Structure 1
Amino acid sequence: MARSKQHNKLFSRIKASKLSDEVYNQIVLLISRGKLIPGDKIPSERDLAVDLGVSRQSIREALSRAEIMGLIEVRQGEGSFILSSINKSLKPPLTIIIEKEAGRIFEFLEIRKLIEGWCAEKAATEATIEDLENMEEILDEMKKVASKDKQWEELDLKFHLSFAKATHNVIAVHMMEALKTNFRPFFKFTKSMPRSEKIDVLWQHHYEIFTAIKHRNPEAAQEKVIDHLNFIEEKLKEDMDIIKY
């Protein structure tokens, strides 16, 4: 008859969870439920400690663990922000492929058309008043910073993410967050079109996408996104032709 192992050698006594583990588990749960999405700012250590009734040390340990696991990003002087786990796994290979082979950018555009087209279509039926107000605010800000490249680009990215968030589909938001880190090359076409004209046209495209979503027209919303990306594709190809010659 087989002898059982000495149980006191094999198992350890179960200890109560550390408070920092409980805080960390809450962060994970909120992310999985879509209550915290990429780009969201987490309350400060002080506010979290008060809200959860634990010490700031417990909060600090939980946030440190979340950062190590790639769930959050701590920005000096700004706070802690939710990251996309998909972003962490996709960004390096996508960036390398796009940077090394220029033609791959058009394959990336095809994926953008599929995902962003669907997001706009879905947003047209799911967007809340708050979502629409957020999109409109971004468009207003884009007009104000039209002469400032970096700020314009940040707001452009923010607008595309805003209608992904308006789908209220957590996976879609994480996918868009991952894709947007590779959007930079799409801002660079300038040789085939004066910058001021480019900004005017792009802003109009964004406004038309927003209008279709606001008017609850899924087909038009999807169509406007694809028209916008087709335009960018055309201009990038024109730029490449200019560079060749």
Structure 2
Amino acid sequence: MKITPIRKRKRVYQEIIEQIKTAVATGEVQPGDKLPSERALSEMLSVSRTSVKEALTVLKSSGVIHIKPGVGAFLVQESPQRLQVKLADLLQEKETSIVELIELRQAIEGDAAYYAAKRITSRQKENLQAVFERLVAIEEQGNVAVEEDYQFHLAIIEAANNPLMRDVMNLISDNMLRVLAKNQEASERNERFQGEIAEEHRNIYEAIINGKPQEARKAMWQHFQGVKQRHT
């Protein structure tokens, strides 16, 4: 199996899958063949073992390989053509709709606001207040506070004191910005609704600062309902 080092660091697991797809297409690996070990793949591809493990996990869940504990990973016993189709499906970029992203954030951040109102520390309160004041200052100028809005939501996620929520927030936000970049009308609508957005942010902020979990969750939920209406 011929391997070339991977230079690109974005979506590394897909690069690994791409090389396996090429090896199947050229016949270098056949159905039933054992793949190199995690360590060997990591060294040959010049990537971390974490990236290799991620690629193998995706391949296993998609039915491309099966893993024998203590032995290794093997391509399943299917025709090369069928394996090619499965691998091609894994490499396709799926278009994410803005509504899907908003609804996911609504679910996660509604609970984040709830827990932030219950768990926020004194230092986190100070940080949230500072972030909120910067957000208000930008909004009062009639500008679209993209970065300040992100920092406000991130401060709430951090105040929920659940580290996994921040990881999810970062992932969703990257996708959100990419989708919004394709929708210029969304920015224009955002500018027209600045007063409405500012009120929603204040309701969230006050509920969290005043330690009212149920109100915080409701305010965040209503905020994302508004976001959905403004972007659809």
TM-score scaled to structure 1, two decimals?
A: 0.51
Q: Which amino acid aligns with 2:162?
A: N
Please give the per-residue CA displacement for 1:161-207, whole angstroms capped at 9, x wherever unaligned: 1110001111112111221222332995255x572x52222122111
Q: Which amino acid aligns with 1:234?
A: Q
**RMSD, aligned α-carbons:** 3.1
Contact 1:139 1:203 in 2 (8 A): no
Instruction: Give the drift of 1:149.
Output: 5.1
Correspondence 1:216 to 2:211: yes
Please give the per-residue CA displacement for 1:91-145, whole angstroms capped at 9, x wherever unaligned: xx9xx54xx46xx221222211110011001101000121111111112112333
User: 1:232 is matched with which residue: 223, 227, 232?
Assistant: 227
CA distance in 2, matches of 1:188, 1:175: 26
Correspondence 1:157 to 2:154: no
Give the length in aligned residue pairs. 142
Q: Which amino acid aligns with 2:186?
A: F
CA distance in 1, matches of 2:129, 2:103: 27
User: 1:189 is matched with which residue: 186, 189, 203?
Assistant: 186
Distance 1:167-1:230 versus aligned 2 partners, 3 A rule: same
User: 2:105 is matched with which residue: 98, 112, 136?
Assistant: 112
Correspondence 1:203 to 2:198: yes
Percent identity among equivalent residues? 21
Aligned match of 1:177:
170
TM-score scaled to structure 2, two decimals?
A: 0.53
User: 2:137 is matched with which residue: 134, 137, 144?
Assistant: 144
Structure 1: any 5+ residue segments left out of the alignment? 1-67, 72-84, 238-245
Q: Which amino acid aligns with 1:141?
A: R
Structure 2: any 5+ residue segments left out of the alignment? 1-46, 59-89
Q: Which amino acid aligns with 1:199?
A: Q
Contact 1:118 1:222 in 2 (8 A): yes
